[in-house]
Amino acid sequence: MKVVLTGNDLTVDKLWDIAANNAEVEISFDANQRLEASRKLVYELVDADVPVYGFNTGVGWNKDHKIAKDFFGDFNKKLIYSHSLGIAPEASEREVRAMMAVRLNCLLGGFTGIQPSIARRYAELLNAGIHPVVPERGSIGEGDITTLSHIGLAMIGEGFVNYKGKRMTSKEAHKLAGLEPVVLGPKDGLAIVSSNAFAAGEGAIVLKELRDLADLGDIVYGASLEALDGNVSPLNPSSMAARRLEGQAKSAANVRNCIKGSYIYDADPEKPVQDPLCFRGGAYVNGSLRDALDYTEKYLNVQMNSTDDNPCVLIDERRMISCSNFEVTTLATAFELLAIVMVHISHMSCYRTIKLADPAFTRLARFLSPDGGESHCFGAFQKDFVSLDAEIRLLSNPCSADFMAVAGDIEDHANNTPIAVQKLRKIVDNMRYIYGMELIHACQAIDLRKRKADIKLGQGTEIVFKEFRKYVKLYENDRPISPDIQKAYEFIKDGTLLTKVRDRLF
């Protein structure tokens, strides 16, 4: 598997192949040409002695310090040293691969002036499987300088990396892979450290997982709708077309595909005319997640395929200018939007699960007891998912407005994009548990209905039920439930539903 990077067309799916599937990276011919032209201009500007921020001047408050060209190498190395400020925990190797690929792709636009050999080193490290150890905390999001500097350390043969499953020094890994550490020149240090590739890389991984979670949400909701013996009219394609919300229509179509052929389409005079909103609007709120994902992906694609460098090298104009292209407030607030939407997603799932344990809505035993109340069954279960839901609400609180002026009061704006992404990552994982717990209730209710009548499940939900029962057995008598919750989480996370249901029916 190979991904050719051009600087213009990196997608979340391509990045996932690089990050998660270890796809080989190749730089296109045109991108290499831009790298060479950009570097040529940098050397011409060195000779012209034009003062440019971070090039022949210091950075931050030290912008008034002039850097003589004889000291470029020392200055750039010290820049990496002084900005290596990351705080544990560490980003995963998958996330490090993603941020390296994003940074490389942005360099290929030719707006940075980095040494072509250093740009190529990103590809060489990725292809060799050398992954710098990158602490996750410390960036305020106006360029992830304090975290990306650790990739710079690895490039110059310092710091630590993970290589073929082992932690070792970067120098040792370079030697084993047949590489020499890079030697920094003018503008190289700033080009390595000053970008938003850290947040964009982690954000792209979360976005891919959220895309999968949106499909999982439709599948789990379909199973719960059958477990309730709910109404299907809210999924009607004609009413969806009248509403004209694309995400909502997509989720409703997915659910219809899951429950196609189900007994819940049969006439039932005892069925209420409409269900609680957590069931009636399940596809509608899932659609809100899809709409928010589309918005976020639009601006993430811009981030992954454009320059966020300061200063910006303009080859055609033959100059290098100061700018704020590292400003990513649009992206930060997009991830915060997703976190807010996930509160609604979580609430809907929790309320569906609560309703499934209530005889007033299901006409089944209280707490889905298999023996009419002899077992406590799911009587205390609600505390678990309600607790995780509360954590999701906490994590959804915006952080992009919580910044302080730094660097001698020069850098007086920030957006905390990495924090926004990492909070969303935790929300996604909590949601896997919540969906798993909803599925425990849905399958329990389906089993109880099967005892009462010979019911026919939908083409997708039949697969869900059978596959889930391979992980979690029917709750027939009181037993510790924590192991079942963990198994349900693993079932949601391992992709079984996506492979068995989505890839066949969506």
pLDDT tens digits, one per residue of 170-218: 999 999 999 999 999 888 998 999 999 999 999 999 999 999 999 999 9
Rounded Cα gap, residues 67 and 51, in angstroms: 9
Which stretch, 284-293, 321-330, 401-410, 450-459, has highest mean pLDDT? 284-293
All structural domains of the chain, each given as residue ranges with its CATH number in brackets, are 2-195 (1.10.275.10), 203-310+327-505 (1.20.200.10)
> Tens of pLDDT along 34-74?
999 999 988 887 776 666 555 666 555 555 555 555 546 68
| Buried/exposed 74-111: b ≥16 CB within 10 Å, e otherwise | ebbbebbebbbebeeebbbbbbbbbbbbbbbbbbbbbb
Arithmetic mean of pLDDT over the chain: 93
How large a percentage of the chain has pLDDT more than 70?
95
Lowest mean pLDDT among 49-63, 258-272, 341-355, 456-470: 49-63
pLDDT of residue 63: 53
Q: Which of 67-76, 257-266, 281-290 comes out lowest in average pLDDT?
A: 67-76
Who's near 255: CB < 8 A, 6+ residues apart?
Answer: 218, 221, 222, 225, 235, 282, 283
Q: Are 394 and 480 in contact (CB under 8 A)?
A: no
Q: What percent of the chain has pLDDT over 90?
A: 81
CA angle 398, 400, 404 (to 5 degrees): 125
- 133-163 per-residue burial string, b: 16 or more CB within 10 A, e: under 16: bbbbbbbbbbbbbbbbbbbbbbbbbbbbbbb
More confident call, 321 vs 364:
364
Beta strands in 138-263 (DSSP E): 160-163, 166-169
Average pLDDT score over residue span 155-178: 96
pTM: 0.93
pLDDT of residue 320: 85
Task: Report whether pLDDT(244) > 70.
Answer: yes
Question: What does the pLDDT average to over 226-251?
Answer: 96
Which range, of 35-49, 126-140, 326-340, averages the lowest pLDDT?
Answer: 35-49
Given a contact cutoff of 8 angstroms between Cβ atoms, the answer to whether 146 and 81 are in contact is: no
**What is the band of 321 on the pLDDT scale with cuts at 50, 70, 90?**
confident
Mean pLDDT of 339-364: 97
- Please give the pLDDT value at position 71: 45
* The pLDDT value given to residue 67: 55
Look up residue 78 and give its two tokens: 């010290």
pLDDT at residue 110, as a whole number:
94
Average pLDDT over residues 94-101: 98
230: CB partners within 8 A, 6+ apart: 224, 264, 275, 279
Residue 400 has pLDDT above 80, yes or no: yes
